[in-house]
Amino acid sequence: IKRVYLLDEGNKDMKMLLGGKGANLCEMAKLELPVPPAFIITTETCLEYFREGTGNLPAALDFEEQLKALEDDTGKKFGNPQNPLLVSVRSGAPASMPGMMDTVLNLGLNDEIVQGIIDTTGNERFAYDTYRRFLNMYSDVVMDLDKEPFEEVISEIKKKKGIKLDLEMEASDWKEVVGEFKKLNPNVPTDPREQLRGAILAVFRSWNNDRAIRYRSYNGIPDAWGTAVSVQAMAYGNMNDGCGTGVAFSRNPSTGENKFFGEFLPNAAGEDVVAGIRTPQPLEEMAQKWPEVYAELFKYQGQLEKYYGDMQDIEFTVENGRLYMLQCRNGKRTAKASVKIAVDMVKEGTLTEQEALLRIPANQMDFFLHPTLDPKAEKTVIGEGLPASPGAATGKIVFTPDDAEAMANLGEDVILVRKETTPEDIHGMKSAQGVLTALGGMTSHAAVVARGMGKCCVSGCTAAEVDFRAKTLKLGEVELKEHDVITIDGSTGEVYLGTVDRRSATEDADFQTVLKWADDLRQLKVLTNADTPEQAKTARSLGAQGIGLCRSEHMFFAPERISAMRAMIVSEEKKERLEHLETMGAFQRDDIAKILEEMDGLPVTIRLLDPPLHEFLPHSLDEMQALADTVGKPLSVVQDRVAQLQEVNPMLGFRGCRLSVVYPEITEMQARAVASAAATNKKAGLDPKPEIMVPVVSTAKELRLIVPRIQAAVADELKKAGVDMDIPIGTMMELPRACQTADQIVGTEGVEFMSFGTNDLTQSVWGFSRDDAIKFIGRYQEQGLLDFDPFARIDEEGVGGLIKTALEKARAKQPGTKVGICGEHGGEPKSVHFFHSQGFDYVSCSPFRVPIARIAAGQAAA
Ligand code: PEP
Ligand code: MG
């Protein structure tokens, strides 16, 4: 097997074997760009090293021939003091893992060789500067010594001399540093070949350092790939003022503007730019200083971008006026830049629309829908939670929904801070600019509702100590009182002290272009989860093709409505319940008519009530008293009834269709409300397309009981109104039993569609509570037991496996049954790919995720 490649033996398509960096070095060399000679040790050799497990380099690895080639190319000799070849040893995985693995520079030095450099070049400062860099890096990377004592040596000398900058250090100072470094670590091998073997081993080992493992787990990079190692002749940016080093992008990575962009540091080594030791100069200054070098660099960046068909991130070094290209790769960029670059490249004829679409990071596209923090703004992070609903907001903190409303009415911007939110908080959430909660995950009440409202929300900020009585919020050392100002970023989950400048997101023409590409390609329909006319309107403006889930219980979140709902829940007898149901029915009819109107001509799936009891029962004495007043009963009666209804596991409790089983009158009220609203709109000349969906179904027998009741109520209502229309009925698939018996479910008379409720399905397949799993999911991720939060992204193996089973059974029984998904996963790009691959008809997601789902669905089909 071939373990070592010279640059003319590889190319850009060999990333798996030579790593991204190595493959691109080969390609640049092929394009005859000035790349310092190098050889690459393959990723397979790295795997061989781990397999052998001896702690030594694989016995079969031999790079003498290639090292000789480097010597011949450079005219230098490795280990020869008269004309020494120094090399860099760098990691390079098949996928970019910036900064995660190790690198050793300036390798091949010892006392004798340093003296040789001084003798031949007369540049003592350069020789000692380079030597101290090597000793420092080798001690850190290969020998695992603490960096700090080394840094202290340099600071001490600077302090003694009253200087601040590395540039002010003289030859004798670096010489002193070298002396001290050797005292700190007298064991750096002096044999250059031993150094080289040590460095290669260290790079191999770094594939499995904690950082790298975590990075791979978060980015879905397989552990089994291994890293390549490139060994390359050094080019020096730190010899004198005719040298320098820099990083450049073929387009602006922040705005996407098609303008060569970069930074440059004269008389410095590459690691100085990365470490931010000095502030680099803009490339324009290099253009002034060295016009020819700049012109050459400019030519190469254009050539590389055209060649790779993507924006390039380039590292270069100038040694005595000669340009060397050290690295090129597709550049990381902001959401805004990714869209602009994609659209520009299509206009320029570099990419097809389809290729450009695939370059868009769909999950970052909420940038275009919400105001975002100005990345340049100064900020003090005081806490971190989950990025539950994107956007950024600044405001005075308040601790109750009523305070939020009152303050908002006075024209103040507020952030509602709660331990967790419940339906009573809705008006406060509406009034607030943003919501911060200490508890709750990505599908907690606060998160779901906030996303629905397009309101920014940070949930699960577990370090936050919220005392709503004292009206204080403690975050670590920081103690805040009511009306203190904070800023939250629902896109990152961060919480900041005070005001942070924001930028408003606008209707971006390039973004619209990308959406159109996606729409032209995609096979999945994108519907929305919306419970109010306003949400329906927003979602439609963002491209929703209907409503896949209207949670009818959410229509009762407003204070004047929740009392009707509560009264109904605590009713002791049917007569009483019917009374309250009538009040509820009136609200519902109105709302549904308005929602149907906003979505006129498009399907609107109204789901029967699914109120987990803990979300709707009154909690405090005040609330119980208010309820007692509403229903005209003594407080004690209400208290007893509430106690009776209390459940230990409300999410597995008396909810969904179980209500319909026990209280058929609830279903009847709802079916009538839907039919009557639709009839009203129809008579007004509109084109309503309602559908009715049954939640939390476990057995076809439930449907056999409930569906005919819906049909009868609908038929009766339509007949009364004198309107003829079809209102399809379907079922949610959100429990394992329903999935396992999907054939029976879709085989039920009158069931025309199924919509997977992946929130409850995830909860019930994993046995993780939606509301509480946040407490340990983070730890699971840290320890590599979970690569991602299964409530945010579909678990294709487990939950997805069950979905596949359900689809197979359902399709065998009733081919062509309409299939959708309306859990939170409907707006998550990787999950959207999965649903596309399983031939779903639609995904349904929060209004503000509709554009993301459109792009992801387009990409899935591309
Ligand atoms: C689900 O469970 O995925 C779902 C959409 O319903 P809800 O979130 O209202 O329980
Ligand atoms: Mg559900």
pLDDT at 445: 67
- Report the complex ipTM: 0.99
847 C-alpha vs ligand 2 centroid, how far in Å?
18
Superfamily of domain 1-109+191-234: ATP-grasp fold, A domain (3.30.1490.20)
Per residue in 346-392, pLDDT (tens digit) is: 999 999 999 999 999 998 887 788 778 887 888 899 999 988 887 88
pLDDT value for 275: 55
Q: Could you tell me the distance, in angstroms and rounded to a whole number, from the CA of residue 437 to the centre of ligand 2?
A: 22
Domain range 111-189, CATH architecture:
Up-down Bundle (1.20)
CB 174 within 8 Å of CB 109: no
Q: Per mean pLDDT, which of 155-164, 167-176, 724-733 is the most reliable? A: 724-733
- Name the DSSP class of 332: P
Q: Tens digits of per-residue pLDDT, 811-825? A: 999 999 999 999 999
Residue 152 is assigned to a ligand binding site: no
Q: Which residues surround ligand 2, an ion (CB under 5 A)?
A: 734, 757, 760
Dist. CA 738 → ligand 1 center (Å): 15
pLDDT at 138: 96
Residue located nearest, by CA, to atom 10 of ligand 1 = 760
Q: Match domain 370-503 to its CATH number in 3.50.30.10, 3.30.70.20, 2.60.40.1120, 3.30.450.40.
A: 3.50.30.10
Question: Is 757 known as a binding-site position?
Answer: yes
Domain ranges of the chain: 1-109+191-234, 111-189, 370-503, 546-690
Residue 823 in contact with ligand 1 by CB distance below 6 A: yes
What per-residue confidence (pLDDT) applies to 50? 95
Residue by residue, DSSP assigns 640-653 as: HHHHHH--SSGGGS
Residue nearest to atom 3 of ligand 1 (CA): 757
Q: From the CB of 800, is ligand 1 less than 6 Å away?
A: no
Residue 551 Cβ inside 6 Å of ligand 1? The answer reads yes
State what percent of residues in the chain have pLDDT above 70: 98
Residue 38 Cα distances to 13, 17, 95, 549, angstroms: 18, 16, 20, 58
Cβ(757) to ligand 1 under 6 A? yes
- What is the distance between the alpha carbons of residues 37 and 652, in angstroms, rounded to a whole number? 65
Q: Are strands 261-266 and 281-282 parallel, antiparallel or unpaired?
A: antiparallel
348-353 long-range contacts, CB within 8 A, separation 24+ = 350/306, 350/309, 351/309, 353/517, 353/520
The annotation status of 760 as a binding-site residue, yes or no, is: yes
pLDDT in tens, 739-779: 999 999 999 999 999 999 999 999 999 999 988 888 888 88
Torsion sign across C-alpha atoms 440, 442, 447, 449 = negative
Residue 831, ligand 1, Cβ within 6 A: no
pLDDT category of residue 443 using cuts at 50, 70 and 90? low
Share the mean pLDDT of the chain. Answer: 91
Closest protein CA for atom 8 of ligand 1: 759
Q: How far apart are CA 724 and CA 683, in angstroms?
A: 10
Distances (CA, A) of 806 to 142, 703, 754, 764, 801: 53, 17, 10, 15, 9
Given a cut of 70, is residue 506 above it in pLDDT? no
DSSP SS3 for 765? helix
**Residue 349's pLDDT is what?**
93
pLDDT digits (tens, 9 = 90+) for 111-149: 999 999 999 889 999 999 999 999 999 999 999 999 889
Q: Is the pLDDT of residue 661 over 90?
A: yes
How big is the chain by its Cα radius of gyration, in Å? 32
Q: Where residue 209 falls among pLDDT bands split at 50, 70, 90?
A: confident
Query: Catalytic site residues?
Result: 445, 822
pLDDT at 508: 79
Residue 793 counted as an annotated binding residue? no
- d(CA 233, CA 750) in angstroms, rounded, equals 74
Q: What's residue 452's pLDDT?
A: 66
For residue 448, which atom of ligand 1 is closest to its CA? 8
Report which protein residue has its CA nearest ligand 1's atom 4.
Answer: 757
CB count, 10 Å around CB of 410?
A: 8
Q: Which of 226-240, 437-451, 491-505, 704-718 has the lowest mean pLDDT?
A: 437-451
Residue 482 CA to ligand 1 center (angstroms) comes to 34
Distance (angstroms) between ligand 2 centre and the Cα of 658 equals 13
What is the atom index within ligand 1 of the atom nearest the CA of 823?
Answer: 3
**Ligand 1 mutation pick, 607, 735, 759, 803, max ligand atoms within 8 A of CB:** 759
For the domain 546-690, what is the CATH code? 3.20.20.60
Residue 274: pLDDT band with limits 50, 70, 90: low
758 is in an annotated binding site: yes
Residue of 445, 451, 732 to mutate, ligand 1, most atoms within 8 A of C-beta: 732
Query: Could you tell me the pLDDT band of residue 491, with boundaries at 50, 70 and 90?
Result: confident
Atom of ligand 1 nearest to the CA of 756: 3
Ligand 1 touching residue 759 (CB < 6 A): yes
Model confidence pLDDT, tens digit, residues 517-572: 999 999 999 999 999 999 999 899 999 999 999 999 988 877 778 888 889 888 88
Pick the atom of ligand 1 nearest to 734's CA: 2
Atom of ligand 1 nearest to the CA of 695: 6
pLDDT value at position 561? 84
Q: Which atom of ligand 1 is nearest to the CA of 551?
A: 9
Q: Is 758 in the pocket of ligand 1 (CB under 6 A)?
A: yes
User: Which of these ranges, 338-342, 386-390, 675-679, 826-830, has the smallest mean pLDDT?
Assistant: 386-390
Q: Is 207 helix (H, G, I), strand (E, B) or coil?
A: coil
Q: How far is the CA of 576 from the centre of ligand 1 (A)?
A: 29
Kindly report the protein residue whose alpha carbon is nearest to atom 9 of ligand 1: 551
Q: Could you tell me if the CB of 549 is within 6 A of ligand 1?
A: yes
- Distance in Å, CA 459 to ligand 2 centroid: 20
Residue 277 pLDDT exceeds 60 = no
Among all ligands shown, which has an atom nearest to the Cα of 762?
1
Alpha-carbon distance of 264 to 101, in angstroms, equals: 24
Give yes or no for residue 734 CB within 6 A of ligand 1. Answer: yes
Question: How far is ligand 1, taken at its centre, from the CA of residue 817, in Å?
Answer: 20
Over residues 485-509, the mean pLDDT reads: 85
CB atoms within 10 A of CB 303: 16
Residues of 478-509 as b/e, b for ≥16 C-beta within 10 angstroms? eebebeebbbbbbbbbbbbbeebebeebeeee
pTM: 0.80
Alpha carbons 848 and 538: distance in angstroms, whole number: 8
Query: Is 248 within 8 Å of 260 (Cβ atoms)?
Result: yes
Question: How is the beta sheet containing 312-319 ordered, strand by strand?
Answer: 281-282, 261-266, 244-249, 312-319, 322-330
Q: What is the pLDDT of residues 397-410, one digit of tens each?
A: 999 999 999 998 88
Please measure the distance between the N-terminal and C-terminal CA atoms of the chain and give it in whole angstroms: 37
